Chain A
Amino acid sequence: EAQVTQNPRYLITVTGKKLTVTCSQNMNHEYMSWYRQDPGLGLRQIYYSMNVEVTDKGDVPEGYKVSRKEKRNFPLILESPSPNQTSLYFCASSYGGSKNIQYFGAGTRLSVL
Chain B
Amino acid sequence: GENVEQHPSTLSVQEGDSAVIKCTYSDSASNYFPWYKQELGKRPQLIIDIRSNVGEKKDQRIAVTLNKTAKHFSLHITETQPEDSAVYFCAATSHGNEKLTFGTGTRLTIIP
What's the A-B contact tally at a CB cutoff of 8 Å?
57
In A82-113, the 8 Å CB interface with B consists of 90, 94, 96-98, 100-102, 104-107
**Contact digits for A36-67, partner B, Cβ 8 Å, 1 yes 0 no:** 00001111110010100000101100000000
Interchain CB contact (< 8 A) of A41 among B36, B46, B96, B104: B104
- Is the interface on chain B under 10, 10 to 19, 20 to 34, or 35 or more residues? 20 to 34
- Whether B100 is near chain A, meaning CB under 8 Å from some CB there, is yes
| Contact present for A42 and B89 (CB under 8 Å) | yes
With both chains docked as a complex, state the minimum distance between the C-beta of A3 and any C-beta of chain B, in angstroms.
11
Complexed CA–CA distance, A102 and B44 (Å): 9
With both chains docked as a complex, state the minimum distance between the C-beta of A23 and any C-beta of chain B, in angstroms.
12
| Contact present for A45 and B100 (CB under 8 Å) | yes
Q: Which residues of A contact B44 (CB under 8 A)?
A: 43, 90, 102, 104
| Contact present for A106 and B43 (CB under 8 Å) | yes
| Contact present for B43 and A90 (CB under 8 Å) | yes
With both chains docked as a complex, state the minimum distance between the C-beta of B27 and any C-beta of chain A, in angstroms.
13
With both chains docked as a complex, state the minimum distance between the C-beta of A104 and any C-beta of chain B, in angstroms.
4
- Is the interface on chain A under 10, 10 to 19, 20 to 34, or 35 or more residues? 20 to 34
| Contact present for B46 and A40 (CB under 8 Å) | no
Complexed CA–CA distance, A70 and B93 (Å): 25
- Whether B45 is near chain A, meaning CB under 8 Å from some CB there, is yes
If A33-B100, A45-B100, A45-B102 are given as contacts, then 5 extra A-B residue pairs at C-beta distance below 8 Å, sorted by A number, are: A42-B89, A42-B105, A43-B105, A45-B99, A98-B32
Listed A/B pairs (23) with beta-carbon separation below 8 Å:
A31-B98, A33-B98, A33-B100, A40-B9, A40-B104, A42-B102, A42-B105, A43-B105, A44-B102, A45-B102, A48-B99, A58-B99, A59-B1, A90-B43, A97-B95, A97-B96, A98-B95, A100-B93, A100-B100, A101-B49, A104-B43, A105-B43, A107-B43
